[in-house]
């Protein structure tokens, strides 16, 4: 049985760039020549002929670039938007968590909004009462539950929205990047709740940029590109196709980059860069402690003696974290000619949550002549894992110890005489 069926769904928006946004613009527009009607209407198709079916009791993932139509598709399924053409059939009660605080009335308290949301879903007051304590407990709002939500922080809104969405017993849960918001502890609890929801035989439709999460959670996946279906089916195959396409696109940018982003003599060219997880799957997303392989595909246009390959890891545009290369690692490459592959393998990725930029390079043995240098052209995202540090960019594999008798004031050893403080203007030797 199918819980959701989309049959050739298209959604068109009419953009009016000349529509006045204020009274002042409207007044000025009275004295300007009026353009032809065609110039005032711009059509934008967010979805075009999208067809798929989601089986009841399965988890369905949607991936794609920003602006590819993912959020519009969710809104069409949730009946927030009406499709321009095509049909959507939904079997069961739907709850949608699409954006921060969506569906909440700012003047009502958290408790009142729970009842409001329940009534929208068709639940009776006694049904909401039966779940109220569990919702409030999951959201961890405490005494703030009777405060108007207009005074809530973004984190409080996220917690309340997710708690309401998953505890009001929907048949179909629709989420848009819900696991990418909130603190680490909340994200972990959300993930556990999604697993519990799936085990209960509920249907989940989720949008996520975390491709590893899509592979782990989803039974099927859909790749949207500019509002059209590019791939549909097994989540590993779909995410791999999406990554191959994205990597090719990134390399095209690298091949004609912004000024000062790629340079060299190009006697050797790095033709492709891949990030691989512990199972050899290409991905951009890793967790602290995961294995990582950076694979460099190269092409030498002539015989090159003793080349050196290197990578650079950066936090943002300014912080250079590390820059290993084959020469410093003791890997002597006698020569290269034609096509080949170099791999840099990291047993444990000791980075904390964040977005990192990766540079790759190939040079001569003296490191003075660059054949090809890609400066921070590749993106790597790391999410934290429970039990690992969350502050600063680097995780150091170490342990804390508490030794009884040392935690109190430290007393000098017998016979120890502290040195006198230096006199003003005198530097200690």
Domain ranges of the chain: 258-383
Residue 217 CA, distance from chain mean position = 15
CA quadruple 76, 81, 83, 84: dihedral positive or negative? negative
Separation CA 302–CA 338 (nearest Å): 7
Using CA atoms, how far residue 183 sits from 22, 51, 315, 391, 392, in Å, is 38, 35, 20, 12, 15
pLDDT single digits (tens) 12-67:
998 765 666 565 655 565 656 665 554 566 888 999 999 999 999 999 999 998 88
pLDDT single digits (tens) 267-314:
999 999 999 999 888 888 888 889 999 999 999 999 999 999 999 999
Q: What is the pLDDT of residue 76?
A: 94
Separation CA 232–CA 226 (nearest Å): 15
3-state SS record for the chain: CEEEEEEEEEEEEEECCCCCCCHHHHHHHCCCCCCCHHHHCEEEEEEEEEEEEEECCCEEEEECCCCCCHHHHHHHHCCCCCCCEEEEEECCCEEEECCCCCCCCCCCEHHHHHHHHHHHCCCCHHHHHHHHHHHHHHHCCHHHHHCEHHHCCHHHHHHHHHHHHHHCCCCEEEEECHHHCCCHHHHHHHHHHHHHHHHCCCEEEEECCCHHHHHHHCCEEEEEECCEEEEEECHHHHHHHHHHHHHHHHHHHHHCCCCCCEECCCCEEEEEEEEECCCCCECCEEECCCCEEEEEEEEEEEEEECCEEEEEEEECCCEEEECCECCCCCCCCCEEEEEEEEEEEECCCCECCEEEEEEEEEECCCCCCEEEEEEEEEEEEEECCCCCCCCCCECCCCCCCCCCCCCCCCCCCCCCCCCCCCCCCCCCC
Q: What is the pLDDT of residue 59?
A: 93
3-state SS record for 204-218: EEEECCCHHHHHHHC
The residue whose two tokens read 């989720």 is 206
Which residues of the chain, if any, have pLDDT below 70? 16-41, 99-103, 178-184, 247, 250-259, 386-390, 405-429
CATH architecture of 258-383: Distorted Sandwich (2.70)
Q: What is the pLDDT of residue 429?
A: 44
Q: What is the pLDDT of residue 25?
A: 59
The answer, as to whether pTM is greater than 0.85, is no
pLDDT single digits (tens) 244-254:
787 677 656 65
């Amino acid at each position: 049985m199918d819980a959701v069926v989309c049959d050739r769904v298209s959604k068109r928006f009419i953009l009016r760039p000349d529509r006045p946004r204020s009274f002042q613009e409207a007044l000025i527009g009275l004295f300007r020549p009026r353009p032809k009607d065609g110039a005032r209407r711009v059509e934008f198709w967010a979805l075009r002929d999208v067809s798929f079916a989601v089986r009841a009791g399965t988890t369905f993932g949607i991936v794609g670039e920003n602006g590819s139509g993912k959020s519009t598709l969710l809104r069409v399924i949730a009946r927030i938007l009406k499709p321009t053409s095509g049909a959507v059939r939904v079997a069961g009660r739907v709850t949608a968590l699409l954006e921060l605080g969506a569906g909440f009335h700012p003047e009502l308290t958290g408790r009142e909004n729970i009842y409001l949301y329940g009534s929208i879903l068709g639940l009776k007051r006694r049904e909401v009462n039966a779940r109220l304590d569990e919702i409030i407990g999951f959201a961890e709002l405490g005494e703030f539950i009777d405060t108007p939500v207009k005074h809530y922080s973004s984190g409080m809104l996220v917690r309340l929205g997710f708690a309401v969405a998953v505890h009001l017993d929907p048949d179909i849960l629709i989420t848009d990047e819900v696991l990418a918001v909130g603190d680490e502890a909340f994200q972990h609890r959300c993930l556990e709740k999604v697993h519990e929801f799936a085990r209960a035989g509920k249907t989940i439709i989720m949008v996520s940029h975390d491709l590893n999460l899509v592979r782990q959670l989803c039974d099927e996946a859909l790749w949207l590109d500019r509002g059209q279906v590019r791939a549909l089916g097994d989540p590993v195959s779909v995410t791999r196709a999406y990554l191959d396409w994205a990597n090719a696109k990134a390399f095209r940018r690298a091949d004609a980059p912004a000024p000062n982003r790629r340079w060299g003599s190009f006697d050797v060219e790095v033709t492709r860069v891949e990030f691989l997880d512990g199972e050899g799957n290409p991905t951009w997303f890793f967790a602290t402690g995961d294995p990582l392989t950076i694979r460099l595909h190269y092409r030498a246009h002539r015989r090159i003696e003793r080349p050196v390959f290197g990578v650079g890891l950066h936090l943002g545009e300014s912080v250079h974290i590390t820059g290993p290369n084959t020469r410093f690692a003791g890997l002597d490459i006698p020569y290269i000619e034609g096509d080949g592959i170099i791999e840099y393998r990291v047993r444990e990725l000791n980075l904390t949550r964040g977005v990192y930029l990766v540079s790759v390079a190939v040079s001569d043995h003296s490191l003075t002549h660059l054949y090809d240098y890609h400066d921070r052209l590749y993106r790597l995202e790391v999410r934290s894992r429970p039990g690992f540090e969350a502050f600063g960019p680097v995780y150091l594999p170490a342990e804390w110890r508490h030794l009884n008798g040392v935690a109190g004031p430290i007393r000098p050893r017998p016979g120890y005489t502290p040195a006198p403080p230096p006199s003003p203007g005198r530097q200690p030797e």
